[in-house]
Amino acid sequence: MSRFEIADTSLDGLKIVQRKTAADARGSLSRLFCAADLKAAGFDAAIAQINHTFTVQRGAVRGLHFQYPPHAEIKMVSCLRGEVFDVAVDLRSGSPTFLRWYGRVLTDENLVSLVIPRGFAHGFQTLTENCELLYLHSCAYSAASEGAINVRDPSVAIAWPLAIAVLSERDQSHPYVDKEFSGIRP
What domains appear along the chain, each with residue ranges and CATH number? 4-20+35-172 (2.60.120.10)
In the predicted structure, residue 37 carries a pLDDT above the cut 70: yes
pLDDT (tens digit per residue) in 90-112:
999 999 999 999 999 999 999 99
Q: Which residue has the higher pLDDT, 180 or 166?
A: 166
Q: What is the DSSP letter of 58?
A: T
Confidence of residue 2 (pLDDT cuts 50, 70, 90): confident
Catalytic residue from among 68, 71, 135, 137: 135
Mean pLDDT of 134-143: 96
135 is catalytic: yes
User: Could you tell me how far CA 121 lies from the centroid of its own chain?
Assistant: 8
Q: Who contacts 58 (Cβ-Cβ below 8 Å, separation ≥6)?
A: 126, 127, 128, 129, 162, 165
Q: Is 52 a catalytic residue?
A: no
Helix (H, G, I), strand (E, B) or coil at 39: helix
- Catalytic residue (choose from 65, 71, 174, 176): 65
Q: Distance between CA 184 and CA 186 in Å, rounded?
A: 6
At 1 the pLDDT is 64
CA distances 123 to 1, 31, 120, Å, are 32, 23, 10
pLDDT at 30: 87
Across residues 15-23, what is the average pLDDT?
Answer: 93
